[in-house]
Amino acid sequence: MPNRHLRQRMGDLVRLPEAAWPALSELSGDMLLVAELVGIERALLLAQVFDGTPIRLYNMRTWIRRHRDRSIRADYDSGSYTVIELARKYHLSDRQISNILGRPDDRQLNLFGEKD
C-alpha cells in the first residue's frame, strides 16, 4: 500500500487522453527510455509523481540471486538433485551450491515467530 504522501500525489494525477500523449519521437533521454519500457501513459504518470525529482533505481541482482538461491534450495529439498547436479544446472561450483544450502533459509521464522 503506498504511503500517505504518495497516495496524495497519486490522487492529483492528470490522465491525459491518448490523443494528447507525446509521440516517442518527441521524448528524449530518460523519459524516452522509461516510455519505451513501460509505455507512454505510465511514463507520463511517473513524471507527474516524481515531478522532476531525481530517483535512483537499484539493479535487480539482489532479487535475482535470492530467487536463484530459493530455487536451488527447493530443488535440493525435493530430493531430485544432488549438489553436483545443482552446480551444473545453475552454472555454479559445487562449493557455491554447498554454501547456499548451508545458509539459513531466509523464509524461515526463528523461535519467536519473527523473520531473521
pLDDT score recorded for residue 91: 97
pLDDT score recorded for residue 102: 93
Place of cell 511514463: 43
User: How high is the mean pLDDT of the chain?
Assistant: 86
Of 39, 49, 43, 37, which is closest to residue 12 (Cα–Cα)? 49
Query: Residue type for 58, please?
Result: Y
Average pLDDT over residues 14-37: 93
pLDDT score recorded for residue 1: 47
Domain ranges, ordered by start, for the chain: 4-50, 61-102
Reduce the secondary structure of 25-59 to three states and give it as a string: HHCCHHHHHHHHHHCHHHHHHHHHHHCCCCCCCCC
Q: Could you report the per-residue pLDDT of 36-87, keeping only the tens digit for each?
A: 999 999 999 999 888 888 888 888 999 999 999 999 999 999 999 999 999 9
Q: State the virtual CA torsion across 83, 87, 88, 89 in degrees, nearest 10.
A: 90
Q: In this model, does residue 10 exceed pLDDT 70?
A: no
Distance (Å, whole) CA 76 – CA 104: 14
By CB atoms closer than 10 A (0-12, 13-18, 19+), residue 7 is exposed
pLDDT bin (cut points 50, 70, 90) of residue 116 is very low
Distance (Å, whole) CA 78 – CA 44: 46
